[in-house]
Structure 1
Amino acid sequence: MFAFFLSSGLFLGWSLGANDASNVFGTAVGAKMIRFRTAAIYCSIFIILGAVISGAGASHTLGKLGAVNALGGAFIVAFSAALSVYLMTLARFPVSTSQSIVGAIIGWNFFSGALTDVNSLTKIVSTWILCPVLSALIAILFYKIIVFVISSFRIHMFRLDRYTRNGLLLAGIFGSYSLGANNIANVMGVFIHVSPLSDISFFGLFNLSATQQLFCLGGVAIAVGVLTYSKRVMATVGSGIMDLSPVAALVAVWSHSIVLFLFSSQSLETFLRSHGLPAIPLVPVSSSQAIVGAVLGMGLLRGGKSINWRIVGGISSGWVITPVIAALLSFVSLFFMQNVFMQKTFKPVPYQITEQAAHKIDKAGFSSNELKTLMGKKFESAVKMKKALSAHISLTPKILNIVLSASEINKMEITMDKINSIDSNWISDEQIRALEKFYGQKFMHQWQFAEALEYNSSFWQFHESDIKFNENLNRKFLYLYNLFEK
């Protein structure tokens, strides 16, 4: 069943490969500097590597936008996003898979009664503006530098041609890796919370997490899309917006690749924060917007006369239409999936201000006394609880998020048979012994269980500066939530 539902994610991956490979090698192929077959092979290999090695960073923000909690819902969300991208690919427009998956998730939020996280949505939408602008600025800077170097050193035409070809190939490889790292969250992000996969170890040499396994499958699907259906969109990006010289094509790909890397690099984020600098948000940005921004940047540098504004207008309208189409497809398809095909598309998550929740709200700095009229009342969804809260008291978005997070009900019961089913190759003996101390206990909230475990065992505590350890520990907590769920 999981394999069947995962097929929509693989379809989305195929659509991404068919559409977004043009952003990596389209300018090089359009400028006739690299053959399509060569571009497709390199692109496929490094997309998979980027997805598996560095794909986790951008997936967290997308997960906060809306946590799809049922396999049927994840299937529809991915399918709706894939279909919207495929329709735009047929029209030969390089659209954004980031926008399509965001639209599909918002459609699921409306259908299930879940709240759309405004902070995450704002962060993602802001990158839709920042991404092409940043790419254009980088392209203008690079183009000026390269033109200066060529004119200053008087590089021979044949030598320049060889340098440009090699540069385009390296830029495409880097861009493919960055594309896999940044956009795999769009393809497989909605399946992370509902995946039955668990971490596996290969003879103790290295581990492959459940998320990395998903990302590997998604990377392969993207690669198939590149190999089978990306050639037609490459023509639009490579020569449709404006005619590109080989040097301009090189600048466009490098600028695009750098932007994608900036928005997916956890190492860069850690470095900036450790030096007191503002970190670049880890968000799955639009590869299409990055490459179009770079091409437009160079076009504007030349005065803008060489730009085909009709094509640009069509591409821009596609960026606006795509999330709307994906949201509508998602909402309507979820209705049919649940009411016609009788498949569960979401798990209802009730909300209640319990005594434990009230205590947590107080610890966060907001007095729960102002919520006394709602104490003990149960609400079917986050939307209904938000309406009840708004009718009684005015809350800032930050306080509202604190109240909702504390009040979310996820009943858990720690039983010995489930403890014994845990894979000791992944979860250590010390961590399992800490779990055994809670045998027979019941919890109303996931955070309540997590806090109790952290308080009683150092093996379940997060490390402030160890990002990889914390990611692994988060996966373990998610596994335990699903394991002990009543």
Structure 2
Amino acid sequence: MLLLIFLSSGLFLGWSLGANDAANIFGSAVGSKMIRFRKAAFIASIFVVLGAVFQGRGTADTLSSLGAVDALAGGFTVSLCAALTVFWMTRYAIPVSTSQAIVGAIIGWSMFAGLPTNYTVLTKIVSTWVSGPVLGMAFAAGLFLLLRGFLRRTKIHVIKLDSYIRISLIVAGAFGAYSLGANNIANVMGVFVNAAPDVLLNFGLFTLDGVQLLFLLGGLAIALGIFTYSERVMHTVGNGILSLSPEAAIVVVLSQALVLFIFSSSSLSAFLMSMGLPAIPLVPVSSTQVVVGSVIGIGLVKGAREIKLKALGEIAAGWVVTPLAAGILTYIALFFVQNVFKLQVFSIKAEGTKIHLDTGTAVAENAPEINLILPAILAMSALAIIILIFLVFRQQKLRLKTENELLHQQNNYYQAQKTLSGMEVTAVHLENSLLSQKLETKRREYINIALNISSQREFLQSVAAKIDEIRLVGDQQQLLEQLNDLSLMVKQKMNFSDETEELYAQIELIHKDFRQKLANAFPDLTEQEKRLAVLLRLNFSSKEIASLMGISPKSAEIARYRLRKKLNLGKGESLTFFIQNL
């Protein structure tokens, strides 16, 4: 329990590293929605843990060479001060690296313990703070040129290219997560290596010693940070800070992964030494700074003319301020932990010693070996069963969801068909109603025509009978009277009052909206003036208007003049044009 309390600062540092640095791996992919966050977090978590457990010894050995923190209270203080330095530097927008913070804190511990600082190791570490971004820049520029040339030659279809990019982002992200765990686990758990239990767990296919168990715990803390807090950072990096195309994002992630892998691979370093070449320093480097270098490399290839020297100056200032602040804070904190809380922050017996972890057998020879083959098989079997049950239920859920969506679509289609049928029925009823109205109108017209023919026949018959009577009249005076009566009867018939009223009724029905507008605009118009306006809208001439209204053409002209006055028309304005455009 006491061990977990002291390890809490390292676990907090690991959580912070996962929450922030995972964005450098999958930020562009998640921000551009090429990969979902859950998938990215799952892949990153698995490979971070694998990298930390199976390849984290090299960088931890370098930090131990710089200063072997040999007391739990000292390790707790060093890790906590590094985390606080990262927190405060980030709060004040100063570029910061977890690697630089932990290095500064270890130097502060060495100074407090009175131990000499290994300047050879320190120089090696500081050199990687410059060589890491430069190497990332070189890798990014070369890979981007190769990828761009390959895409130009192959001319892959855009749909296939999108699929290939998604797969490449996943592969590059997995490699980047593995390299991040391998390189940066030393920042999280390097100062607690001396507290690792002397135990060896045998799982059959592989074994884990106490240091690897410590790295496993730190890797899980990083994975927890990825799952709980990195989504917002990923979206920020993907949409705001790194405005990159998917192809450029692959290059950035891959170049960063290569740099981290190179500075954490014990096998690669040993291979170079066997070839007579200088060994690669196994040092935890800042993934953020490598990403910055990679982006600058791509910008140079694209022909970027402006490199923000101010930003580069801030990064360089961070290289100096971060370890210095972490070292001072650690020195002060160790004083309080030792003198106020009476905790031992370093061991006098261990002065001058140095721990090596790159041998692969860092546990004592007499460390008890625990056989976990059978529990591992049972655990894997249980995990496989759980995954199988999950997949079955997930498939069932997806099937039910698909069926529900299909039923919903069918219901929507049925409702749409029902609505369309109702609209068609309504349209048919409306059409039938209009046809009925037309038939009724035609029937009335035919009746009126028939009645008019009958009326005209009766009138002409009465005229013929009257003429026959006049022929038989012998008296001149009586003949004149009969002719006068016949003339008066014809003139009365020529009045056509019924037909005229019927005509006006039809016209007013058709131009009902016009009459309403005219009445609203000019409420002082008489009924006769309104009829005149309707006839003018139909473009009737004065002669035709006079005939329809039963007045003389001169009276029709006078009526037009009076209507102009009431409509307030000026001289030169056309009365007919005004009425037709009202």
TM-score, normalised to structure 2, is 0.59
- 8 Å CA contact 1:46–1:180 kept in 2: the answer is yes
Q: Establish whether residue 245 from structure 1 lines up as the match of residue 239 from structure 2.
A: no
Q: Deviations over 1:35-93 (max 9, x none)?
A: 33322221111101111111112111110000111111000001111222233455677
- Identical positions, percent: 53
State the shift of 1:310 in Å.
Answer: 6.0
Aligned to 1:360: none
Map 1:48-447; keep pairs closer than 5 Å: 48-90=49-91, 95-195=96-196, 197-202=197-202, 206-235=206-235, 237-305=237-305, 314-348=314-348
Give the letter for the 1:213 counterpart: L
- 8 Å CA contact 2:133–2:292 kept in 1: the answer is yes
Aligned positions, number: 367
- 8 Å CA contact 2:28–2:242 kept in 1: the answer is no
Change (3 A) 1:95 1:233: farther
Q: Establish whether residue 475 from structure 1 lines up as the match of residue 363 from structure 2.
A: yes
Change (3 A) 1:211 1:203: closer
Change (3 A) 1:157 1:206: closer
* Worse-matched range after superposition: 252-261 or 313-322: 313-322
Q: Name the SS of the counterpart of 2:364 in structure 1.
A: helix
Q: Deviations over 1:325-363 (max 9, x none)?
A: 22122112111111111111112359xxxxxxxxxxxxx
Give the letter for the 2:247 counterpart: V
- 8 Å CA contact 1:123–1:281 kept in 2: the answer is yes
Aligned to 2:385: none
Q: Establish whether residue 33 from structure 1 lines up as the match of residue 38 from structure 2.
A: no
**Separation in structure 1 between the aligned mates of residue 303 and residue 205 of structure 2, nearest angstrom:** 56
RMSD: 2.8
- 8 Å CA contact 2:67–2:106 kept in 1: the answer is yes
State the shift of 1:308 in Å.
Answer: 6.3
**Separation in structure 2 between the aligned mates of residue 92 and residue 236 of structure 1, nearest angstrom:** 15
- 8 Å CA contact 1:44–1:222 kept in 2: the answer is yes
Change (3 A) 1:237 1:322: farther
Q: Name the SS of the counterpart of 1:115 in structure 2.
A: coil
Aligned to 2:469: none
- 8 Å CA contact 2:7–2:76 kept in 1: the answer is yes
TM-score, normalised to structure 1, is 0.70
Q: Deviations over 1:235-292 (max 9, x none)?
A: 4543444521111111000000011111111221222222223321211122112111
Gaps of 5+ in 1: 351-380, 382-404, 409-445, 448-461, 480-486
- 8 Å CA contact 2:95–2:314 kept in 1: the answer is no
State the shift of 1:478 in Å.
Answer: 11
Structure number with the higher helix fraction is 2
**Separation in structure 1 between the aligned mates of residue 247 and residue 98 of structure 2, nearest angstrom:** 28
State the shift of 1:152 in Å.
Answer: 1.2
Gaps of 5+ in 2: 368-582
State the shift of 1:306 in Å.
Answer: 7.1
- 8 Å CA contact 1:94–1:288 kept in 2: the answer is no
Change (3 A) 1:43 1:90: farther
Q: Name the SS of the counterpart of 2:201 in structure 1.
A: strand
Give the letter for the 2:297 counterpart: G
Give the letter for the 1:471 counterpart: G
Change (3 A) 1:128 1:55: same
Q: Deviations over 1:418-472 (max 9, x none)?
A: xxxxxxxxxxxxxxxxxxxxxxxxxxxx99xxxxxxxxxxxxxx9xxxx97x431
**Separation in structure 2 between the aligned mates of residue 37 and residue 203 of structure 1, nearest angstrom:** 29
**Separation in structure 2 between the aligned mates of residue 72 and residue 306 of structure 1, nearest angstrom:** 48
Change (3 A) 1:229 1:317: farther
Change (3 A) 1:21 1:38: same
**Separation in structure 2 between the aligned mates of residue 279 and residue 478 of structure 1, nearest angstrom:** 32
Larger Rg, first or second structure (1 or 2): 2
Aligned to 1:436: none
Change (3 A) 1:270 1:148: same
**Separation in structure 2 between the aligned mates of residue 27 and residue 312 of structure 1, nearest angstrom:** 22
